[in-house]
Amino acid sequence: MSPGQVGFRLDLTQPPVTDGPSAPQEALRELYGLLGYQMVETAAFAGSNPGKPVSPRSEGETVWRMSRVLPAVNFAKSHPLPPVSGLPAPADDPYAGISTGGGQTAISTARAAVWFRDVYGNSSDVDPAARQAGVRP
Amino acid sequence: MSSEVAASGVLDLAVGYTDPVIALGAWPQTTAEFSVSPAVGGGATLSVGLSFQSSALVAAPTEPAGAGAARALDLSTRFDRIYFQVGQPDVSLSLSTSLNQPAGGSPIPLAGPLGGLRAQAAAASAFAATAATLRTLTADPAVTATLGDVVSHYGLDWPALASANGLRTLGELIVGTAAALPVFAVFKAGDTTASLCPPELTVSTVLADPDNTVLPLTAGIELAIPARTLTPDAALSLNAIAAAAKVTPASLVRANAATTGLLRPGFVFTGQGVEVEVALKAPDSEVSLDEIAQTFFDNGVPWNTVMVAVANGETLPGMFRDGASLNLDRYIIQADETLAANGSGASLTELAARNGTTVDLFPAGAPVFLSAPATAPLDMPLAEIATAYGVESGELLRHNAGAVLKAAGVLVLPGVGVLPASPQTLRIPYGIPPRRSLEAISGRFLKAEELRTPVQGLVAANAALPGTVAGGQTIVVQGQSIATQDGDSFEAVVARADPPITLDQLADAIADEPDVLAPGGLLLCPPAQLASGSGTTPSQVGLRYSVTASALLAANAATPGLIQPGVTITAPASEGSVSLVTAAADSVNAILRRFARAGAAVTIDGLAQANLNVGMLAAGALLLLPRRCAGWRPASARPAGCCPARSSPCAAGSVSSATSTWSIRPSGPAGRPGLGRGGGQRGGRAAQHRRDRPEDRA
């Protein structure tokens, strides 16, 4: 993982392939086979807009794998290095957000909200920001 | 993995340092050294220093500035990463060394301040970024009309000029429809110049060509010279006379074999049991060497004249009489002699006319220039011509020295790089010396901002840079007293003011104060400009900018306009008494090349030391500055475990070996992903270079 990146991975049981009609639960899982995500604001990182949904990738015959690397550094709230002409811009600091500053270490955390989506744009949940605003799925 | 999945979820993702720290030993162009010295009251003081080799970030003598800039850009990227790594607020530094290791125990880490490393990383990053902006300088026909003018004006040499323009064609570089293509013949053992020359060439003309008159001759071979006379000391033997005259005895005999009246009456020649004495009285005493040889022959000894004479070459007193006038027409070539420079006493024309058939005149492999017909292809790159025609591209250009340059911006000048059009926006590091005011510093650099005073501009440019203001000072601004703290930036001081003040007000208030700036701190300034009247010797200029003369010249090896024209500079004494006069638009790189071609292997350090007090630098030049070596001393200046068995201080010479390990890591809780650490290697005596290696991956 490059500096400034965080990632997640989700493994799902692949819905069985059948010749006839699928069971409702399996049909739903097959339809909602995309993973939506967005970064949620934490003490160290700002929230983001929803990203492009992640498509599943087959791992063997039974597993769907969904993974995404997020450029968390782009959402860091603090940049410890000073802006000085002639030196690299603080915004380019790949370690921004890791330290909370003040010479004391506290483990920063980035947070991602995930949900399922279908190819038509329907979600299994609204995005977290909308939920915080009182929107119900 | 589960078949029952919630409709949505929130993932907490721990962040941390995942890449290895770039250990000190892997910092580009940086060397670390440490020294151990006795401490007052016992124990020892361990000091660590870092120095930055800036010369690798500017063009080498034979390459275009763009090549150096590309290298600087690459290093700039690496220094940026280092700057970000050591700049994090939760990173700490410690040094583990066997110098601080109790008997039977493990080294006790010595904590150290990171400020020096951070400043060094920032300085290197800024220098590299500025060096990456250096642009290639090209010849302008309005200044230098011909290729030869370019070489003499800039003090360049032909191979360097050709190397930097290897991808250009002659048609791009010069005016005209034809160019000379030099033709050479390689001298082989047993060759003569005449045997190498095609019939249409005159051998003497070939030998007299400037290309050939500077070729080293074969030492020990005899040159044919115009006949001259020699009156030797009659007491000397034939061999001694020949050695003194730098001719072989055989040649001396041949030149005088038929001359009568030379031999000393009473001299006895011996050979194969036969003795022939020169008669005591005339006319029988007036025999020649040929006649002596004939006498031997008549008595059954089949020797020629040379054999007879040489067989008696050591006999004393010698075979020649007092006042004898000997002919001399040969000269033994001494080491490093050429047709143009030798001890024969003959002119170049005389030598060229007489030595066309001299066997082995040149050593095997010598390229003898024959002619330069106007057949060079104009549409082929110089490098390809060199390959296709077996001629060095520098020689190709030299044989077209009179060719007129076609246009500006085409012929690349090697080893010089010019700053961009607005250099005041660039930044170079400047290490703050003790007791120097902002006013004194700002006058040594270009003005950072047009709309501010030089001091205000310098303060604004460095407003957020920590460690510029000395702690423990009280600054009075607009009637308000503000206490400073260690590590303060200008911005931090302004932020502490109540009621608020501006940066410009702070700058005006402290402009002349010599104690406000933190000694050893870092300022980032526009390029320096050498002012007139401030001294032009490397020593003076180095002192002015708090860098060594060597570091100053190294950082500016490719700086145009730095060298004063017409100044005699010398090579170090170890290279012999070699000196040269600087060219109209010389550079350090060009000077080093010219010394090298004169046989003196001069380094930048050697150049600086040999000319410390020579006024060789030109006022008005824009300079790049490296930061002076950064020093670092562990928190425990007296390692507790050093030399535990000694009651006296640990002297430098008593440390025979040591192992040191650097460690730069987050100072956070255990289990936290870490930056990693750099390992050391075995060190040595008091001052040893040592390197670290990246070791861990968190």
Under a CB-based contact definition with an 8 Å cutoff, are residues B503 and B490 in contact? yes
Do B489 and B466 touch, CB atoms closer than 8 A?
yes
- The whole-angstrom separation of Cα B414 and Cα B405 is 16
To the nearest whole Å, the CA of B470 is away from the closest chain A CA by 18
Q: Which residues pair with A111 in a beta bridge?
A: A40, B12
Share of chain B above pLDDT 70, in %: 89
* Dihedral angle computed from the Cα positions of residues A41, A47, A53 and A58, in that order, rounded to the nearest 10 degrees: -40
Domain assignment present for residue A1? The answer is no
| Under 8 Å between Cβ of B624 and B592 | no
Instruction: State the nearest Cα–Cα gap between B137 and chain A, in angstroms.
Output: 24
Nearest-Cα distance to chain A for B535, in Å, is: 28
DSSP labels, B595-644: HHHTT----HHHHHHHTTTS--BPTT-EE--PPP-EEE--S-SS-TTSST
* Mutate which: B77, B90, B491, B675, vs A, most A CBs within 10 A: B90
Q: Which residues of B touch A108 (CB under 8 A)?
A: 15
Q: Is any Cβ of chain A less than 8 angstroms from the Cβ of B82?
A: no
Identify whether the C-beta of residue B301 lies closer than 8 Å to the C-beta of residue B271.
yes
pLDDT for B463 beyond 50? yes
Residues of B in contact with A56 (CB under 8 A): none
Q: State the CB neighbour count (10 A cutoff) for residue B335.
A: 8
State how far residue A40 is from chain B, nearest Cα, in angstroms.
Answer: 8
- Chain A segment 64-123 residues within 8 A of B by beta carbon are 70, 72, 80-88, 92-95, 97-99, 101-116
**Is-contact B83 B122, C-beta < 8 A?**
yes
Instruction: Assess whether pLDDT exceeds 60 at residue B622.
Output: yes
What Cα–Cα distance (Å) separates residue B249 from each residue in B232, B253, B383? 13, 6, 50
Q: Do B461 and A12 touch (CB under 8 A)?
A: no
- Distance between CA atoms of residues B694 and B24, nearest Å: 8
Query: For residue A100, what pLDDT is reported?
Result: 66
CA distance linking residue B648 with residue B650, whole number of Å: 6
Phi then psi for B585, rounded to 5 degrees?
Answer: -135, 60
Q: How far is Cα B140 from Cα B493, in angstroms, rounded to an integer?
A: 50
**Parallel, antiparallel or unpaired: strands B522-525 and B579-581:** unpaired
Length of chain B: 698
- Note whether residue A103 is domain-resident: yes
The answer to whether B305 touches B293, Cβ cutoff 8 Å, is yes
Compare B93 and B82 and report the one with higher pLDDT.
B82
Could you say which residues from 450 to 509 on chain B have a Cβ atom under 8 Å away from some Cβ of chain A?
461-466, 489, 491
The distance of A93 to chain B (nearest Cα, Å) reads 6
Terminal-residue alpha carbon distance, chain A: 34
With beta carbons under 8 A apart, name residues in chain B contacting A64: none
- The answer to whether residue B689 scores a pLDDT higher than 50 is no
Tell if the CB–CB gap between A63 and B1 is shorter than 8 Å.
yes
> For residue range B60-72, what is the model confidence (pLDDT) as tens digits?
999 999 999 999 9
Mean pLDDT confidence for B222-241: 93
Closest chain B C-alpha to A5 CA, distance in angstroms: 8
Neighbours of B670 (CB within 10 A): 5
8 Å CB contact of B80 and A92:
yes
Residue A81 and residue B126: Cβ atoms within 8 Å?
no
Q: Are B526 and B622 contacting, i.e. CB atoms less than 8 angstroms apart? A: no
* Of the candidates B421, B418, B376, the residue with the CA atom closest to the CA atom of residue B147: B376
Mean pLDDT is lowest, of B308-317, B511-520, B550-559, for B308-317
What ranges in B236-282 are assigned the alpha helix state H? Answer: 238-244, 249-256
Do residue B15 and residue A6 have CB atoms under 8 angstroms apart? yes
CB B684 within 8 A of CB B97: no
Give the model's pLDDT for residue B133.
97
Q: Inter-chain contact B8–A13, Cβ cutoff 8 Å?
A: no
Q: Which residue of B has its CA nearest to A85?
A: B461
Residue B73: its H or E element: helix B65-87
User: What is the rounded end-to-end Cα distance, in angstroms, of chain B?
Assistant: 27
Separation of alpha carbons B501 and B203, rounded Å: 86
Q: Within the 503-542 window of chain B, which residues sit less than 8 Å (CB to CB) from chain A?
A: 524
A94:B84 CB<8 A: yes
Ramachandran region, residue B518 (left: φ > 0; alpha: ψ -120 to 50; beta: rest): beta
A95–B668 CB contact, under 8 Å: no
Structure token pair of residue B213: 């008159």
Torsion of CA A57, A59, A62, A67, to 10 degrees: -50
**β-bridge partners, B44:** B38
Q: What is the pLDDT of residue A102?
A: 55
- Evaluate whether residue A70 is within a structural domain: yes
CA distance B117 to B305: 83
> What distance in Å separates the CA atoms of residue B501 and residue B22, rounded to the nearest whole number?
40
- How big is the A-B interface in CB pairs under 8 Å? 142
Q: What is the largest CA-CA distance in chain A?
A: 67
The residue to which tokens 């060229």 are assigned: B352
Confidence of residue A101 (pLDDT cuts 50, 70, 90): low
- A125/B7 Cβ within 8 A: yes
Quote the DSSP letter at residue B169.
Answer: B
Contact A86 B19 (CB under 8 A): no
- Residue-level pLDDT at A131: 56
Amino acid at B469: V
Backbone angles phi, psi at B522, to 5 degrees: -115, 135
Distance from CA of A8 to the nearest CA of B (A): 8
Whether residue B138 contacts residue B411, with contact meaning beta carbons closer than 8 Å, is answered with yes
pLDDT of residue B674: 34
C-alpha span between B506 and B35 (Å, rounded): 40
pLDDT tens digits, residue range B352-409? Answer: 999 999 999 999 999 999 999 999 999 999 999 999 998 999 999 999 999 999 999 9
CB atoms within 10 A of CB B688: 18
Higher-pLDDT residue of B650, B614: B614
A103 closest CA partner among B114, B381, B38? B114
Which residues 6+ apart lie within 8 Å of B315 measured at CB?
Answer: B237, B238, B267
pLDDT band per the 50, 70, 90 thresholds, residue B128: very high
B28-38 pLDDT, tens digit each:
999 888 888 88
Selecting from B11, B126, B669 the residue whose C-beta is nearest the C-beta of A8 gives B11
pLDDT of A61: 82
Asked if A114 and B8 come within 8 Å (Cβ–Cβ), the reply is yes
How far does Cα B488 stand from its chain's mean position? Answer: 40
Give contacts of A 29-58 with B, CB under 8 A: 29, 40, 44
Please report, to the nearest 10 degrees, the dihedral formed by the alpha carbons of residues A118, A124, A127, A133 taken in order: 140
Token duo for residue B169 = 């064609």
Q: Two tokens at B119?
A: 């400043």
A104 to chain B: nearest residue by CA?
Answer: B90
Contact between chains at B668 and A105 (C-beta distance less than 8 A): yes
- Amino acid of residue B509: A
Range of the domain at A15: 6-135
Residue A82 to residue B3, Cβ atoms within 8 A = no
Contacts of A19 (CB under 8 A, 6+ apart): none
Q: What is the ipTM of this complex?
A: 0.88
| Residue in A11, A88, A108 closest to B83 by CB | A88
Contact list in A for residue B425 (CB cut-off 8 A) is 85
Q: Is B13 helix (H, G, I), strand (E, B) or coil?
A: strand
Whether residue B126 lies within 8 A of chain A, CB to CB, comes out as yes
- The 3-state secondary structure of B390-452 reads CCCHHHHHHCCCCCEECCCCCCEEEEEEECCCCHHHCCEEEECCCCCCHHHHHCCECCCCCCC
In which residue are the tokens 């046989």 written?
B599
Q: What does pLDDT average to over chain B?
A: 87
Residue B515 CA to its chain's centroid (Å): 39
**Distances B66 to B70, B164, B253 between C-alpha atoms, Å:** 6, 10, 64
Q: What value does the mean pLDDT take over residues B265-279?
A: 93
The mean pLDDT of A31-57, rounded to a whole number, is 91
State whether A70 and B126 contact (CB < 8 Å).
no
Bond from prior residue into B283 cis (ω within 30 degrees of 0): yes
Which of B468, B666, B634, B590 has its CA nearest to residue B62? B590
**Three-class SS state of B647:** coil
Token pair, residue B688, equals 């040893």
Indicate the residue of B14, B85, B88 with minimum beta-carbon distance to A107: B14
* Residues found in chain A: 137
| Cα torsion B353, B357, B361, B363: sign | positive
- pLDDT tens figures, B629-682: 555 555 444 443 333 323 222 222 222 334 445 555 554 433 333 333 333 333
Closest CA to B223 of B57, B337, B390: B337
Determine the distance from the C-alpha atom of residue A116 to the mean position of all C-alpha atoms in its chain, rounded to a whole number: 12
How many structural domains does chain A have? Answer: 1
